[in-house]
Structure 1
Amino acid sequence: MENKPRILVFIPAYRCAPQIGRVLSQFDDEVQKWVDTVMVVDNRSPDDTPDKAISSGRDQLDHCRFIVWENADNYGLGGSHKVAFQYAVQHGYDYLVVLHGDDQADIRDLLPFLKQGIHLENDCLLGARFMTDSKLEGYSAFRTFGNRVYNWLFSVVAFHRIYDLGSGLNVYRLDKFKEFYYKKFPDDLTFNYVMLLGSYNKGQKVRFFPITWRESDQVSNVRLFRQAFKVLQLLGKYFFMRGRFLKSDMRTVKHASYTGKIVFTTQKDEDRQ
């Protein structure tokens, strides 16, 4: 394990107080062997998500650094991704793992691929709910069908087989993301869709892997049919404009920067050198 790549696990969280403790409990000793830092990014939650994260992770994560970060503004899920990418690049990490804070995905599904070094061979290693060997728990047949249709549409337009447009568990090789080309990508839930199209457009190596996905007490902020129409519009623009579309500003609010502050940490950066 010496000279292993530095991995930051980014956990975006918004109104995840009931689930964030369960997410952090996934980081057993075996998982922590592979992780340098776990960073919960709270997107101005109106509940006590940050406090729950601190109380859950403070003592449990004793083999890696633990950070709770608060965004300066409500940047949306995409904006929180931008915060995490910037932080990871600026602090010299090699890989960014994204694990959503609502306890639908499980980071332990990633361990076999880390052990095999699959992440070393790809620029994007993306969890997929709809591959063979994936397991869906509590996910409706209607939403499964809709996702499979959209995966097929995006596959046709992107000229690549796509198994999931955005699950809650992804890995990115950061040397491909040092250039902040994704700053103008949407700050909302469609960020992942555009990010995937951008990766293919830039010729990045993308691989999907099966995951377990569950729905229990999570609260969705998505208006299903409005979101579906918005995604179709996005795909249509990419079909006709390709690279020009990816260079356009797709944000509703054009933030000059994506900032925030650390509200809790178990170790400072210099302690990890």
Structure 2
Amino acid sequence: MSRILVFIPAYNCAPQITRVLRQLDSPEVQEVIDGVVVVDNRSPDTTRQAAAEGLAKLPLDTALLHNDDNYGLGGSHKVAINYAREQGYDFLIVLHGDDQGDIADIVPHLKASKQLDLDFFMGARFMKGSRLEGYSTLRTAANEVFNLIFSFISGRRLYDLGSGLNLFRVSAFDGDWHLKYADDLTFNYYLILGVVRRGCRLRFFPLTWREDDQVSNAKLSRMGIQLLRIILFRMYRPKAFFANDHRATARDAYPSTRVV
């Protein structure tokens, strides 16, 4: 029987992470998941304390990891993938710690065991059946344009380049091909292109996405420039794109310290 780990990347989200962990405190959710790991990327606020208190209330296998350096969102993914591999989990669910997504959106799919035939099951904010709450028209339009561009250059319809609720098959990362992708917020953009290139079994599912008290680290103008660079590199130098190391700092490992 497959084992599923929920990974919560956290950075400066003390007010929200308590709510995120409460999402897991229900029999319906606990029926389909086996463990929870919070990876704190050196938050200067009280995120770790709030996470530790929330994890202590859950009747699941839990862990709180503190990155030994600031690895960024992508680096925290790499920490969690390695942890899931070491602990013998088969699937990793990514649920962002800022409480924009709801794990309830994936629970029915897990109950139906849809993940068993997939390598990547990605939440999509911009497909039929999805619902956006408090999301600006400008950001929605920009995301939809980039979704279409990435779909064109990859040859596969992509409904989202990286929401905060996704499921990965842990063994899909065998060979550590993902390590060379950027450690910052652009990690998911490289990942989705790599997933398609490698012919992984990929499917999207609709979700609800909300913005209320979250503070986004993704500035629209800066992310737009970064996306354009990725697009141009992928279009005009595809072999180099998948061969190169895209990290600002190349690392042999992504060590973390277990707090709880």
Q: The TM-score by the shorter chain falls in which range? A: over 0.9
Alpha-carbon separation, structure 1, partners of 2:40 and 2:148: 33
- Tell me if structure 1 keeps the 8 A contact 2:100–2:210: yes
Counterpart secondary structure, 1:172: strand
2:210 matched residue in structure 1 = 214
Q: How many Å apart are 1:226 and its aligned residue?
A: 1.5
Q: How many Å apart are 1:116 and its aligned residue?
A: 1.5
Counterpart pick for 1:52 among 41, 50, 55 = 50
Counterpart pick for 1:10 among 7, 28, 37 = 7
2:155 matched residue in structure 1 = 159
Q: How many Å apart are 1:257 and its aligned residue?
A: 1.2
Alpha-carbon separation, structure 2, partners of 1:199 and 1:257: 22
Task: Please list the CA deviations of residues 63-100 of structure 1 after superposition, one character each: whole Å capped at 9, or x if unmatched.
Answer: x1111110000100000000011111122110011000
Percent of aligned positions that are identical: 50
Please state if 1:111 is matched with 2:123: no
Q: How many Å apart are 1:208 and its aligned residue?
A: 0.3
1:36 matched residue in structure 2 = 34
Alpha-carbon separation, structure 2, partners of 1:102 and 1:148: 22
Q: How many Å apart are 1:181 and its aligned residue?
A: 0.9
Counterpart secondary structure, 2:89: coil
Counterpart pick for 2:179 among 175, 183, 203 = 183
Please state if 1:122 is matched with 2:122: no
Alpha-carbon separation, structure 2, partners of 1:81 and 1:242: 24
User: Which range moved further: 173-182 or 196-205?
Assistant: 173-182
Q: How many residues align?
A: 259
1:271 matched residue in structure 2 = none
After TM superposition, the runs of 4+ consecutive aligned structure 1 residues lying more than 3 A away are none
Q: How many Å apart are 1:243 and its aligned residue?
A: 3.8
**What amino acid is aligned across from residue 14 of structure 2 in structure 1?**
A
Unaligned runs of 5+ in 2: none
- Tell me if structure 1 keeps the 8 A contact 2:36–2:63: yes
Alpha-carbon separation, structure 2, partners of 1:173 and 1:257: 21
Alpha-carbon separation, structure 2, partners of 1:42 and 1:7: 20
Counterpart secondary structure, 1:12: strand
Counterpart secondary structure, 1:97: strand
1:42-81 aligned within 5 A: 42-59=40-57, 61-62=58-59, 64-81=60-77
- Tell me if structure 2 keeps the 8 A contact 1:185–1:246: no
- Tell me if structure 2 keeps the 8 A contact 1:89–1:178: no
1:25 matched residue in structure 2 = 22
**What amino acid is aligned across from residue 257 of structure 2 in structure 1?**
K
- Note the aligned Cα RMSD (angstroms): 0.9
- Tell me if structure 2 keeps the 8 A contact 1:201–1:243: no
- TM-score w.r.t. the length of structure 1 is 0.93
Alpha-carbon separation, structure 1, partners of 2:110 and 2:237: 36
**What amino acid is aligned across from residue 189 of structure 1 in structure 2?**
L
Q: How many Å apart are 1:241 and its aligned residue?
A: 2.3
Counterpart secondary structure, 1:34: coil
Q: How many Å apart are 1:178 and its aligned residue?
A: 2.1
- Tell me if structure 1 keeps the 8 A contact 2:139–2:220: no
Q: How many Å apart are 1:102 and its aligned residue?
A: 0.2
Unaligned runs of 5+ in 1: 265-273
